[in-house]
A and B are shown apart, each in its own frame.
Chain A
Amino acid sequence: MGKLIIDNLCKHFGDVKAVDNVSITVEDGEFLTLLGPSGCGKSTTLFAVAGLDRPTSGRILVDDVVFYDGGQQAMMPPEKRNCGLVFQSYALWPHMTVRDNLAFPLEIRKIGKSEQQKRITDALGLVEMENYQGRYPHELSGGQQQRVALARTLVYEPRLMLLDEPLSNLDAKLRIRARRWLKELQGRLGLTTIYVTHDQIEALTLSDRIAVMEGGKLVQLGTPEEIYSRPVSPFVADFIGASNFIDGFAGDDDGDTVNITLAEDVSIRAKARPGVKKGEAVRVAVRPENIRLVNGSGVPGGSNALTASIRDRDYLGARFQYILDVCGTELRMEAEQNLEGSQVDISFTPEDCIAFPA
């Protein structure tokens, strides 16, 4: 139970394509994250799955049950879909206690009183909130409200769990705890889950697969490792891990890496993405965390080596962040040392450099 197929989904607001031909298949029990900046269409996609937003065209199916079919103009109303949606605002009903909030979906499903109480206690137990049944939402902290909201969707055993930036209203420490706990819970229950966020760390730590969206389009779908190490475009490389970009021209290809000329007498080797052609302009992405200082033992064999001037430095506590200048391009790098002087030698491996056609 719980295989979701999103097929050529479109949602247009006039001329604006909020969701543009998105197709994703989410396997039973999978944790899929829709990741992207605000306005990329990730929430619209989620709300279309929940039935709260009517798409323009396409199809949505769960285990062969048609949620939406643009061709037949068939639209199942949200209340018939049996999805559990956790809102960014939690949307707990303020006039009901925690128990009543959880009982409401069970009453609609005509479940007997004693069974209701058992399920409510179980669901609150899962989120460690069983002692708060009589409280009203405004008597709970943000983290507690978030857990009650989750319990409210778990209590009626939905076939899909949909989460719309559920951690964004929590403070940083609580967010890390909630993240771990959410992942553990999802793994234990095995619910097919779609998680919407703009936070790359949440996406990387929680997901089985990540769908990166930009401007209504699905730009890359893959495991966190794939997305991180093999981004398909500068946008993905920048959105996941905030890459540095250096412009240059492609040279010879040795079958594994390609030579990139950054300036006269300055060149590096990089992994080329499809579309990079010899003699044409390219954009090379290098992550700050992959840039190393060259120390006494010299440059590791095969690595790129450059000399950069230091433009600026920020003290971050445990480390320093350096803003470097390489051939007129700005590069960010982190290091533990407080470097003297205005010049520094750096290196990074060709495997950590990805060249995109500019």
Chain B
Amino acid sequence: MQNAAVSDEQPFGAAFSRARLIQYSVAVVALVLVAAPLVPIMYQAVLDKPIYDGQAILTLDNFSRLFSNPKFYEAFKNSVVLSAVTTVIAGIIGVSTAVFIGRTNIPGKKFFGEVVLWPMYVSHLVLAFGWFMMYGPSGYVTLLVEGWIGGKPWDLYTMAGMAVVAGAAQAPLVHLFCASSVARADASLEDAARTVGAGPFTVLRRVTVPLLRPAITYSAMLNFIGCLEMLSVPLILGTPVGKDFFTTFLYTQGYSGSNPDYGLIGAAACFLLVMISILIYLQTKLLKKAGRFVTVKGKATRPKIFDLGRYRWAVSITLAIYFGLTLFVTVGGLGLRAFTTFLTPLLAPWELLTFDNFALIFEYDAYQRSITNSLLVAGIGAAVAVAFVSLITVIIHRSGFRFRRALEYVALYPRAVPGIVAGIGFFWGMLLFPFMGPLHGTIWILILAFTMRTIPTAFGAISPALMQLSQDLDQSSRTVGADWWTTQRKIILPLLRPALFGAYVLLFLSFLKEYASAAFLFAPGSEIIGTTMLQFWVNGDSGPVAALAVIQIILTITFVVFARKLLGVKAYG
């Protein structure tokens, strides 16, 4: 529990202090930013005509049309089933990697520990393209295996296929939660099991993994929600065979022909928002109770490493095969495809080598611009977002602002807003609110949308560091004569520098990856890598798609290395 922060009210006469002015401004901007996409969606959901049509009147007809639409039920069912299966697959993979890499003596665990997190750096769209090009119906590996066994080995365009792809993409999240929990577990609980006669595998199965329950439940909730709002896998692997999901329903309705059904989209987006809001609410409740499962003592004990004996090689080889098939083959396949005119097992790739895919991208302004735009959006946008969220965070935790609790709710709410819904909402916002109009076709609307989506992420990265700073540091600054704003600017924010830097890295990467909310917002001049990839994919040009994916991966790697170097030189007292 935090002490009530120092109040910043102005005495005797002065109506508005500098502190209040800043606090109210930031709060109002935050509220407008979060409401900007939500209000148009809710408004459109109850309008009988498009939002820009002055003749529109209020109606509940959209919802009755939505609920009587068989395609919607199909999408609902598919989304829930896919999310459930994906969550289970991601859970099994993530827990296994966390336990085997974190707690056993398998060979190569250091390498696996690095590799396991790589999918988090890459856009799900890129991962889905990789799977599509390698394991899709006419994928390189599929055709190769088909040649050996003489029949179709698998079908990626099924629920099972999609769940494997999405599960592999989401597993790192489970790993991350469980690995930190595994590393801090109380070793004496396992020692006790050993002394009563349990072997290493039994201890892992009966003690170590059950103790991960809170981490597993929490990451499972995150993954379930994340999969419900995922656009990439359903779009790339589901739409070719006519399978509809929540997100693809919205996407195809929005892009269908010249006359999209605004009311229906509004109602569907509204429904998705409400559903995810409820799930987030449940998840928050769950997290509050998680404290009862605490197995960690204040003292850090070094967790013991299990000796798996002769099984250590078997586990290690299994992991190597898993990462090989899901990561190296898919990403390697993208690389191969980027440098060839065509990819087929019938011809050796070196006979088809070409730079045409890259040449195409660098020849056309629009394609080239999508790369520079992506870098601008990530580079500038992430900085703007971090600056803004750092203000939100200090207001929430370190001010006497009257509405700081409410501000915290506003700041955390975007967790419940799927990317595609945010995209539609901001798009309609530009139609509805005149002041947003000039943003159309600029990268600023993308920065706004991405910022809105990542407020919770940045808040989550900054606020633990802020809570660790003693209130005495602000209070002493106030008593020596600094007002609230000077205190934040000269004392608190400088002390938060490492956390702000960490948040910037996080946001840069997610801005670089983001595509779903941009799908409705980009216009000629404001393309980004993700939207251009989608365009090429719609036209069936997988060569340029692969080339752009490779470029995005290279940019990501460069930035991550650069950030690590910077973190390395971080001199901090």
Chain A residues proximal to chain B, CB less than 8 Å: 50-52, 54, 74-85, 87-89, 91-95, 104-105, 108-109, 136-138, 152-153, 156, 162
Q: How far is the CB of A157 from chain B (nearest CB, A)?
A: 11
Q: How far is the CB of A347 from chain B (nearest CB, A)?
A: 51
Query: Quick one: given A52-B6, A78-B478, A108-B482, are A91 and B473 in contact (CB under 8 Å)?
Result: yes
A75–B478 CB distance below 8 A: no
In chain B, positions 1-39 with a C-beta closer than 8 Å to chain A are 6-12, 17
Query: Quick one: given A52-B6, A93-B495, A94-B495, are A79 and B472 in contact (CB under 8 Å)?
Result: no
Among residues of A, the one whose C-beta sits closest to the C-beta of B483 is A79
Would you call B434 an interface residue if the criterion is a C-beta within 8 Å of the partner chain's C-beta atoms? no
In chain B, positions 451-492 with a C-beta closer than 8 Å to chain A are 470, 472-473, 475-483, 486, 490-491
A52–B475 CB distance below 8 A: yes
The listed residue with most A CB atoms (<10 A of its CB), out of B472, B480, B481, B486, is: B480
In the assembled complex, the Cα of A138 lies from the Cα of B495 at a distance in Å of 14
B475–A78 CB distance below 8 A: yes
B479–A81 CB distance below 8 A: yes
A74–B573 CB distance below 8 A: no
In chain B, positions 372-408 with a C-beta closer than 8 Å to chain A are none
Give me 14 A-to-B residue pairs in the complex whose CB atoms sit less than 8 angstroms apart, sorted by A's number: A74-B11, A78-B479, A79-B479, A83-B479, A84-B479, A91-B475, A92-B476, A93-B476, A93-B477, A93-B491, A93-B495, A95-B573, A108-B486, A156-B480
Q: How far is the CB of A168 from chain B (nearest CB, A)?
A: 14
A87–B476 CB distance below 8 A: yes
In chain B, positions 545-567 with a C-beta closer than 8 Å to chain A are none
Query: Quick one: given A74-B11, A74-B12, are A51 and B478 in contact (CB under 8 Å)?
Result: yes
Contacts of A138 in B (CB 8 A): 573
Contacts of B11 in A (CB 8 A): 74-77, 80
A109–B7 CB distance below 8 A: no
Q: How far is the CB of B474 from chain A (nearest CB, A)?
A: 9
B491–A153 CB distance below 8 A: no
A91–B495 CB distance below 8 A: no
Partner of A153 from the list B9, B480, B494 (CB cut-off 8 Å) is: B480
B494–A95 CB distance below 8 A: yes
A75–B573 CB distance below 8 A: no
In the assembled complex, the Cα of A156 lies from the Cα of B491 at a distance in Å of 18
- Sort chain B's interface into a size bin: 20 to 34
In the assembled complex, the Cα of A339 lies from the Cα of B495 at a distance in Å of 61
Q: How far is the CB of A69 from chain B (nearest CB, A)?
A: 10
In the assembled complex, the Cα of A160 lies from the Cα of B242 at a distance in Å of 77
Which 10 A-B pairs rank lowest in CB-CB distance, beginning with the nearest?
Answer: A91-B472, A105-B480, A91-B476, A78-B478, A85-B479, A76-B11, A108-B481, A87-B472, A79-B481, A136-B573
The B interface is mostly helix, strand or loop, or mixed, namely loop
Q: Number of contacts between A and B (CB, 8 Å)? A: 90
Chain B residues proximal to chain A, CB less than 8 Å: 6-12, 17, 470, 472-473, 475-483, 486, 490-491, 494-495, 572-573
Sample of 9 more A-B contacts, CB < 8 Å, known A79-B482, A91-B476, A108-B486? A50-B479, A75-B7, A77-B7, A78-B479, A79-B481, A91-B470, A91-B473, A95-B495, A153-B480
Contacts of A87 in B (CB 8 A): 472, 475-476
Q: How far is the CB of B489 from chain A (nearest CB, A)?
A: 12
Contacts of B473 in A (CB 8 A): 91, 93
Contacts of B9 in A (CB 8 A): 75, 77
In the assembled complex, the Cα of A85 lies from the Cα of B481 at a distance in Å of 11
Contacts of B10 in A (CB 8 A): 77
Contacts of A83 in B (CB 8 A): 479
Partner of B472 from the list A51, A54, A89 (CB cut-off 8 Å) is: A89
Query: Quick one: given A74-B11, A91-B472, are A109 and B481 in contact (CB under 8 Å)?
Result: yes
In the assembled complex, the Cα of A95 lies from the Cα of B482 at a distance in Å of 17
A79–B478 CB distance below 8 A: yes
In the assembled complex, the Cα of A136 lies from the Cα of B495 at a distance in Å of 14
Q: How far is the CB of B571 from chain A (nearest CB, A)?
A: 11
Q: How far is the CB of B13 from chain A (nearest CB, A)?
A: 10
In the assembled complex, the Cα of A83 lies from the Cα of B476 at a distance in Å of 10
In the assembled complex, the Cα of A105 lies from the Cα of B568 at a distance in Å of 33
In the assembled complex, the Cα of A162 lies from the Cα of B475 at a distance in Å of 13
Q: How far is the CB of A230 from chain B (nearest CB, A)?
A: 36
In the assembled complex, the Cα of A152 lies from the Cα of B573 at a distance in Å of 20
B573–A104 CB distance below 8 A: no
Contacts of A108 in B (CB 8 A): 480-482, 486
Query: Quick one: given A94-B573, A95-B495, A138-B573, are A104 and B482 in contact (CB under 8 Å)?
Result: yes
Q: How far is the CB of B156 from chain A (nearest CB, A)?
A: 53
Contacts of A84 in B (CB 8 A): 479-480
In the assembled complex, the Cα of A108 lies from the Cα of B482 at a distance in Å of 6
In the assembled complex, the Cα of A182 lies from the Cα of B490 at a distance in Å of 30
Contacts of B6 in A (CB 8 A): 51-52, 78
B490–A104 CB distance below 8 A: yes
Among residues of A, the one whose C-beta sits closest to the C-beta of B17 is A77
The listed residue with most B CB atoms (<10 A of its CB), out of A75, A85, A91, is: A91
B481–A105 CB distance below 8 A: yes
The listed residue with most A CB atoms (<10 A of its CB), out of B9, B470, B475, B486, is: B475
